[in-house]
Structure 1
Amino acid sequence: MAEYFRCDPGKYGCNASCCRDNESTPSLTVGDLYRISRKTGERIEDIWKTKGSVVLQMPPGMKNSFFVTPGLFHNPCPYLNGDNQCDIHDSRPISCANFPVFHQVLEGADLENDKIKYDCMEGCEFSSEQIEIAKRVEKIQEAENITALKILGEIFWPIVIEGPSDLKKYTAQARETFAKKDPSFTTMRGMLLKQNIDYVEGQAGMFIEGISNPFNQVHMAPIFHAIYDDYFTEVITGKWNEIRRAVRQTSREYLEVLGGIPF
């Protein structure tokens, strides 16, 4: 399985599509941001401002809510180089190292019995090695999300939007934010949002399920990025030293796991 799972552009028809596809946009923990910053020398606010995006996820069993988490712009990933190689491969985000396990778990996959759905591995089984690694990095991911919650509060990791009232609140913030930045963009986006608001009042669950559709994600992600742009930068940079100290241990654990992954 390791042979088929090894990401190696030029072999097995790989064209790094998972690093270009909006469907596989990685969500980031505070530890991911810390590790990328250390690897590249970039300031955390610059990563967010120039390469940041958001990821909208609807975990299994949550029919009327979805999560909003930080992510990387992914069309293509800003760390994908001209040879289709990852410039931060030895410090890549947890959800990248755990691909495609992470994405299929969000869809409710049974790793012991289900097949891999992603194109280049279509029909392959998850190996015992992948499942074991997935469990280890998932624990690290959970720990780093708890760290963020303790330090940052409920500003971004994650926001849970339940039903039309929450969606209306964030939509209002989006309109106000965009009005100050780009009136023409606001008009176009406002039309999309107005249509969604009218629809969500009648069938909240059906609309929120639609968030998992890549088309909706492409249209909604910039809205949430704009809402939190200045606020996120101010809060996370103000508490960056505290975050850095808190994630050192999980980062050591993660990089140790990462060094042993054969793909």
Structure 2
Amino acid sequence: MILKAIILGIIEGLTEFLPISSTGHLIIANKYINFTGEFANVFDVVIQVGAILAVIFYFWDKIFPSFNNKQKAKKVYYLWVKVVLGFLPAAVLGFLFEDKIDKYLFNPLSVSIALIFGAILLLIAESKLKRVRVFDTDDMTYMDALLVGIFQCLALWPGMSRSASTIIGGLLIGLSREVSAEFSFFLAIPTLIGASFLKLLKSSLSFSLVEWTTLFIGTLVSFIVALLVIKFFMGYIKRKDLRPFAYYRILLAVIVILFEIL
């Protein structure tokens, strides 16, 4: 059980913030490494908390105010207003339709289609249809934040990828790759924490000591791996584009279908 938690924690940490869909990878992993019952549903969501803690740790100076510096505190306040605006669209839709999404869209075929659709959108966004006009999250408008939040609604479709949806939205409205990725990370904080706690509230929480230990280990591994991935990705997008991730998504879609057939 502990080994399963470590492996799934690594997968979550590697895939949560790259535009490649953690869901697609977990479908493949769960073919061979899976938990059962209510704990299985809770585990996949709760280990996201580790990834979110990695974002908070990495961007601590930017997302939490220094009360000794009023100018910086003001910038942080406006940033969080933008994050809340971006968070609301997907939060409302997710709350209203979570059960239907799980019932009708959480299957290998639907996930594969989402992977390919997201790859196409990523390639379109990378074609630079709109001139870049925003090079810092401080310069984003409230409308920019809301539009990225609307794009995040695409991530309710399993396999689309929350990271991909928000980065695609950012690129299409004129944000730079760095700003698109950074704001995507910030949006993840309320989005994934909300999803995790909603899942916990819907569960009975009657887990054994071993299961709670498994949750903790999976979350810890997810935190460590996600921290390394964030550092890599923020360096990567300063030098290269996102097309390789689009091609990888198409390959992953084919693999998901094959794993379902075989």
Scaled by the length of structure 1, what TM-score is found? 0.25
Greater RCO (Cα-Cα under 8 Å, separation 6 or more): 2
Q: As a proportion of its length, which structure holds more helix?
A: 2
Scaled by the length of structure 2, what TM-score is found? 0.25
Q: As a proportion of its length, which structure holds more strand?
A: 1
